Structure formats: structure tokens, C-alpha cells
Structure 1
């Protein structure tokens, strides 16, 4: 079955459904062939495997019932073969399919799902609560990263790369407000280009970012990128310094948005912690923890005069 992307683009809407492989074999293979074999040059003998009949599959269709996206859940509790036709990328198809597969895994009683993400798609999966683990590897000639997400609890965050993914997920999930409690603007995390870019996009899109700091001198000496960004976007960024002794003794650090996403580190000087993108109750707890400290803290007027 051939696929005409330009015809699919004109449809405008799509549906997503969990399907049996036997019922949708041709359509699933049509999407995957276009994306993996034609676009990415993956050998056909690698793309099609014996697992297909054993998997639960998701398919996306346009308003004319033509296939535009595909994905699957394998018996070893892994999401894979995620593919969306070019004209439908960036229109929510991938997100809808991923959510459908996660919900199916929950229905199956799974506690965790994993996946092998192409490195170019790391941010996409981070937005949905997946965090990296283990070293990167090459599969079918393409760089990949193992990622995982707990379904019934917070997902462990181990190391800087996982920490960055967790924070990017929290930022991407924010609607209007983002709260950050940090010791010294977290060198190695809040100064990374992807994180700074994500915060810039959120801020210029109308978002509000409140940042509480225990140590304001260290980021000043380091000329932390967020200070310059905050100076340019003064209506979006607000920095306050923690001065009360009872508040300065707090050992942890965290980021929380206003849509249920959070990343918490029990020891604020380390990257290790845990995160979850669908936990409004925990976010309410973190907001309740943040607000009184924010009210007691002083505005960082010294940041406005840095001349960065």
C-alpha cells in the first residue's frame, strides 16, 4: 500500500486506536516502511520482525481513514516502532499515539515501560515523563538512547543526562507557571543550552518563572546564562534569595509546573532524584512548600545590574 503524504496533510484531523496486528498489518507496515525504510534507510529485514504478531499496536488515521502513524508495545514491555508520516509531524499525532500506548500498558497492569529513542527524539519523550538510562548505542545505523517511565510511581533520575531530560519534561509541560528551588542555579543543569532554550521559549510564550536561590554569589561569579536571560526577560523571570536560617537549612531542590509535572532531588547538590509528569497532588505539595519561602525571601536586585 502506498502513502501519499500531501493528501493526508489536507485532511486536518486524525483518530488513534489500539489495534490487533492481524487487523491492521498492511496499514501499519505502510507507515513504518515510509518512515524507517524509505526515509531513514533501515533495512527491511530489521524493520520487520517476528515480534509484530505478539505486540499490541496503535495506529493513527486521517479523516479519510488513511494511516498516518504507527507504534507498538512489545511483550517485554517496551514501546517501539513509533512513526508518523512527514506531513503530520508536529501536529500531535505522536503525542496521541504515545499516550494511547501508555494507557494500554496501564490497562495491562504494567509498572514500567521502556523504549529505545532515536537521539533526535529525546526531548519528545522527555516531555512525556521518560528519562534516559544506560549509555547511548547504535541501532540500524542510528544513535539511540534507552529511556523508561514508571507508570504507578515516580521515575528514578540518575545522572546529569537523566536530570536534564526530567527538567525539560517539567518545562515543556508547564502551562503558565514554573517554580524552581535551587541552591546555586545548578551548574551542569540550569546552564545547559537545551534547558536555557526551553526556558526562553516558555518565557517568551507568556510563561512565568519563579526561582528561589540559597546562594546568589556563585551564579553571579560564573555569569550563569539564566541571569542574562532573566535580565532580558524581566516580566517573565523573578529571582529571590533565601535568607531566613530555617529556610537556608533546607537540603533539597526541585522544579514544578502547573500541570502536574515535577522533578525532585532530596540532596540539592546532586542530580539524582525522581520525577513524574502527571502528579497534581505532589505538585500542590511542592507549591505549598515553595510559596511561604518565596514570601520570606528578598528580590535579587543585584541581578538586574550585572550588565550581562
Structure 2
């Protein structure tokens, strides 16, 4: 698996297509909530599977001095194969290169164990985002 930083419109559109498939089609998030006004403020990431097919996406942005990890999604064909971990490690590596000391994210509650294995800890109660239960999590980046 390989993770790249999106560098052009074609790659960005590929990331959006993956996000639409996972969040809009699978989870029924309205497309206008999924693709938002913050896109241009983010660094976008694409994950390619071992066959070179785009299979995951995520984005990162700076908010009030910390790194915000958002829109992490993996296509069903590579779930459970370490793809999410690879994507998260690449984003955290990028964050560390930017001098970030803390990353935060809003995790869907079913994904909390995944993020806990990566060292994130829950820092909020449950809340709804796009009608889906979430909890805020954070991690100190070394």
C-alpha cells in the first residue's frame, strides 16, 4: 500500500469519489455535508492498494494550533488489511513534519477501537455529526 499527498485536480477528484462512495452512498451523509467549504484549506491524502488502485482517502488541516484529521475512509475491498492504519500513519508523519504536536479527530463511535490502537484517546461525550454518533479523540504526536 502507498499513501500520497494529493497534488492535482485529478487526484483530488479521486479522493472525493472515494469519500462519496463511503460516506454518501454507504452511510447516507448528504453530499453537501461531505464535500464542504473547508476543502481548499486542507491537505488531502490518497491511499493506493497493493495493485495500485485508489482505495482510501483522508484530509488534514490546522485548527487553532493543532492538526485536525478528517474524512478518513477506506473502500470495503481493503478494509481489515491495514489500509486505515497506513493512511493514518502517513497523515501523522506529515503532521509531525509540519511541527504539529497534537492531532485531534472526531471518530464515529464504531471506529473508536481502531483509533485507540493508534494511540488516540476519547476526550468528549457522544455527539451527532451528519446524524452519526461520534466522539472527539486526540493524540500527542512525537
Q: Take 1:22 and 1:130, find their aligned partners in 2: how far apart are those partners?
A: 31
Name the residue aligned to 1:79. Answer: 69
Greater relative contact order (Cα < 8 A, sep 6+): 2
Match of 1:66 among 34, 37, 53: 53
Name the residue aligned to 1:138. Answer: 128
**CA 1:145/1:81 → structure 2, altered by over 3 Å: closer, same or farther?**
same
How far apart are 1:18 and its partner, in Å? 2.1
Name the residue aligned to 1:117. Answer: 107
Name the residue aligned to 2:37. Answer: 50
Match of 1:36 among 7, 15, 23: 23
The answer for unaligned runs of 5 or more in structure 1 is: 1-13, 153-308
How far apart are 1:21 and its partner, in Å? 6.0
The structure with the greater share of residues assigned to strand is: 2
SS at match of 2:62: coil
**Does the 8 Å contact 1:21/1:57 carry over to 2?**
no
Q: Take 1:91 and 1:15, find their aligned partners in 2: how far apart are those partners?
A: 13
Further displaced range: 40-49 or 58-67: 58-67
How far apart are 1:151 and its partner, in Å? 1.1
Q: Take 1:23 and 1:107, find their aligned partners in 2: how far apart are those partners?
A: 25
Q: Take 2:123 and 2:8, find their aligned partners in 1: how far apart are those partners?
A: 30
Query: Deviation above 3 Å: which 4+ runs of structure 1?
Result: 20-23
SS at match of 1:27: helix
The count of corresponding residues between Structure 1 and Structure 2 is 139
SS at match of 1:149: strand
- TM-score for the superposition, normalised by structure 2: 0.92
